[in-house]
Amino acid sequence: MSNESPLKIIISGAKGRMGQAVKECAEADPENFEVAAGIDVGEKLEDVIAQADAVIDFSAPEALHTTVRLCVENGKRLVVGTTGHDEKQLKAARSGANNIGIVMAPNFSVGVNTLFWMTQKAAEILGEDYDLEVIEMHHHHKKDAPSGTARRLGEILAKARGLDYDTQTAHGREGLIGARPKDEIGMHSLRGGDVVGDHTVIYATNGERVELSHKASSRDAFAKGALRAAQWLGDRPNGLYDMQDVLGLR
Ligand code: NAP
């Protein structure tokens, strides 16, 4: 990847775990990236946004509305890595994407995006005889559950099997709940220690089961993917994209 001049980025959530990883990865690749500024809680994006070509957001869901508005007003591309947005916040991104290019992905790693692709293929091949379960584990600081990546895996499974993610997902199980319905996706969130991000999709039937797993051991995979997405947006029409678009997996 080489540009005439490095892509100037602003990191929102700059003091956080992902913000730091993006900064380090960008600084390790000065030919392609320059960190123009970083903002965190209490600092204003409007004070620095003019300095950059792109904003990379790994902050908190409630920041999205303002971040999208400022990127639209200033004509900047936007990469959103933050997860856990509600429908109203997502609507802001969808409407902002009429005016700028936005890449929004629950997981920017190439490995996880390959897992997304394989999850769909396996669901299509294995069909209705297989019970579908998703397990994720993250560090004890993580605020949202299930992870955005696990949710996306659940949505992929639901679509492939003609199920409704919102109403046909069981988030954990407890008590005398009876036999497992066929038309259900099980979703289980584990939290502990410093786990960067593990995801497993299980397809279980009588006599066999298939497990697809991804384990992240460093945040660099997400950070490098987010930087790649910011660069990829450069020559794209306005719109809302995800990492499957960036990697050409669609
Ligand atoms: P983190 O360590 O808590 O970092 C978030 C940072 O953003 C903190 O410094 C936080 O400050 C700050 N912040 C909060 N509200 C803000 C606002 N309105 N404006 C600017 N900064 C704000 O969390 P993390 O582990 O880096 O994760 C950040 C987000 O990225 C989470 O939603 C996580 O799920 C997601 N994530 C996505 C990917 C991906 O590939 N898409 C990968 C990993 C993580 P305070 O601590 O003071 O609140």
Q: Which pLDDT value is given to residue 114?
A: 94
pLDDT in tens, 172-219: 999 999 999 999 999 999 999 999 999 999 999 999 999 999 999 999
Q: Which pLDDT value is given to residue 2?
A: 52
Instruction: Using the Cα atoms of residue 110, residue 112, residue 116 and residue 118 in order, give the sign of their dihedral.
Output: positive
Q: Give the tokens for residue 233.
A: 């947006």
Q: Which pLDDT value is given to residue 30?
A: 98
Q: Which pLDDT value is given to residue 54?
A: 98
Residues of the chain under the 70 pLDDT cut: 1-3
DSSP-assigned letter for residue 204: E
Q: Which pLDDT value is given to residue 235?
A: 77
Residues with CB under 6 A from ligand 1: 12-13, 15-19, 39-41, 58-60, 63, 81-84, 105-108, 144, 148, 222
Q: What is the pTM of this model?
A: 0.90
Q: Which of 25, 83, 86, 107 to mutate to test ligand 1, by most ligand atoms within 8 A of the CB atom?
A: 83
85 noted as active-site residue: no
171 noted as active-site residue: no
Q: Which pLDDT value is given to residue 4?
A: 73
Q: Which pLDDT value is given to residue 249?
A: 86
Instruction: Give 3-state DSSP helix, strand, coil % of the chain, rounded to 5.
Output: 40, 25, 35
Spatial distance between the Cα atoms of 76 and 137, rounded to a whole number of angstroms: 34
Spatial distance between the Cα atoms of 17 and 140, rounded to a whole number of angstroms: 13
Question: What is the number of other CB atoms lying within 10 angstroms of the CB of residue 246?
Answer: 24
Considering only CA atoms, which residue is closest to atom 40 of ligand 1? 107
Q: Give the residues across from 131 on adjacent strands.
A: 204
